[in-house]
Structure 1
Amino acid sequence: MPSNVEIKARVDSVSLFAQKASALSQSDGTVIKQQDTFFHCSQGRLKLRDFMNGSGQLIFYDRPDTDGPKLSNFSISPTSDPQSLREVLSAALGVMGEVLKERRLYLIGQTRVHLDTVEGLGDFMELEVMMRPDQTVAEGQQVAEELMRQLDVSEASLVSGAYMDLLLQKANALQK
C-alpha cells in the first residue's frame, strides 16, 4: 500500500504562502476544485473525491490524528462516474459529511504541497511527502519538517485530523 508523511496547518496569509510555494516549485500551481464525501467505515477513512468534471477517486486512508508529520497509508481507485458511486456508497455505508474545497497544488521534489480554501473552515496547507520504497518514516518526516521551515509554517498552526473532523467539531460547537 502506498504511503506518505503528511502535515496540515492553518494559513494566515494565502498570498504569502502561495508566493513561497510558487518560488520553491517554480510554478504557479494547479487549481483543482474538489467535493469529498466521507462515508462511515469501521477503520480508517473512506472518501469519494469528485473533481466536478465527471471524474473522481475513491480513497481509503489510515493515519493517526495527531499534529505534525505523520505516516498515512492509502489506496486510490479512479472512477469516471463519481455521482453514481456516491449513491451506492451512501446507501450501503451512510454519509458522515462532505468537504468542499478549492485546492492549489504545487509539486516540490517528492512532496505535494496543497493550499486549500475549505468551505466553512478557511485556509489551510497540507504537505504530502510521497514515500519512496527505500525511505524510512523518519526520513519522510525530515523532508516535511524542512519544507515547513522553508514555507514558514509554525508548529502553533498545525492541525490534527481531517477537514471532515474540523467541520463536525464546528457543527457540534454550534449546536451547544
Structure 2
Amino acid sequence: MFEVEVKYRVPNHDAIRDRLKALNAKFLEHTEETDIYLNSPLRDFAKTDEALRVRVYGDGTVVLTYKGPRIGNVGKTREELSVTANDLDSLLEILRRLDFREVAKVVKRRDIYNYENFTIYLDTVEDLGSFVEVETMVNDKELINRATDEVLQFGDKLGLKREWIEKRTYLELVLERGNERR
C-alpha cells in the first residue's frame, strides 16, 4: 500500500474547518499522538530516506511503522508497513537491544476528517505550529501520480495554497529546529 500525502503549513485551522464543514466532511476523531523515531544500526535512515516510527496514541495503542523512501517530488508518498504492539516499554527495549536508537520525538494533537477517498488531518505539532495533511491510499505504484494530482486538487478546494506545501517531514522539521537551538 502507498500513502499519497501532501502536507501544508497553515496559519491556523479555522478556515479549513469551515470548508470541511461546508463539504459535509465527516469528523472522525480528535487524538493526541507521540511519535518516537529511531535510526538503524545497519544504515542511516536520514541518508536512505526511510523512517522507523513508534506511534503512541492517546488511548495507549502502540503502532510500529516502517516507511520506505519517498516516491515523487510533490508530496510525501511512501510505502508503509505497520504492526500494532500492546507493550510500549517492551517494544522499545527490543529495538534498543537491537541497537536502534531514538533520534527524535514528535508530539501532536490531531483532528481527523474523511471526505470521499481523502483523509484530512488538522495537526498542531508541539514547537512547530499548525499543519494540514491531505492523504489517500493506493495499492498500485502506477496510480501514485494521478492520486497526487487528486490530493492537490482537493487541497485547492479546501483553500490550501500550494505555496504552503511543506515537503519536509515532521521529523526533519523537529531535527532542524533542534539544530537551530544549539
- The answer to whether the superposition gives a TM-score over 0.5 is yes
| Structure 2 residue identity aligned to 1:37 | I
Q: Cα–Cα, structure 1 residues 15 and 119, in superposed 2: closer, same or farther, change >3 Å? A: same
Q: How does 1:13-92 map to 2 (within 5 A)?
A: 13-41=12-40, 42=43, 43=48, 44-64=50-70, 68-91=74-97, 92=99
Q: Cα–Cα, structure 1 residues 160 and 24, in superposed 2: closer, same or farther, change >3 Å? A: same
2:122 matched to 1:115? yes
Q: Which moved more, 1:120-129 or 1:27-36?
A: 27-36
8 Å contact kept, 1:25–1:106: no
| Structure 1 residue identity aligned to 2:12 | S
Match of 1:129 in 2: 136
Distance (Å, rounded) in 2 between the aligned partners of 1:132 and 1:106 = 21
| Deviation of the 1:59 alpha carbon | 0.6
> TM-score, structure 2 length as denominator?
0.86
The Cα RMSD (Å) is: 2.1
| Deviation of the 1:134 alpha carbon | 8.8
Show structure 2 runs of 5+ residues with no match. Answer: none
8 Å contact kept, 1:14–1:123: yes
Report percent identity of matched pairs. Answer: 22
Matched residue of 1:47: which SS? strand
Distance (Å, rounded) in 2 between the aligned partners of 1:71 and 1:134 = 10
Q: Deviations over 1:61-92 (max 9, x none)?
A: 12439863342111010112223212322443
Q: Cα–Cα, structure 1 residues 67 and 123, in superposed 2: closer, same or farther, change >3 Å? A: farther
8 Å contact kept, 2:8–2:160: yes
Q: Deviations over 1:28-80 (max 9, x none)?
A: 34101100000003341000000132311101112439863342111010112
Aligned length: 174
Show structure 1 runs of 5+ residues with no match. Answer: none
Q: Cα–Cα, structure 1 residues 127 and 84, in superposed 2: closer, same or farther, change >3 Å? A: same
Match of 1:101 in 2: 108
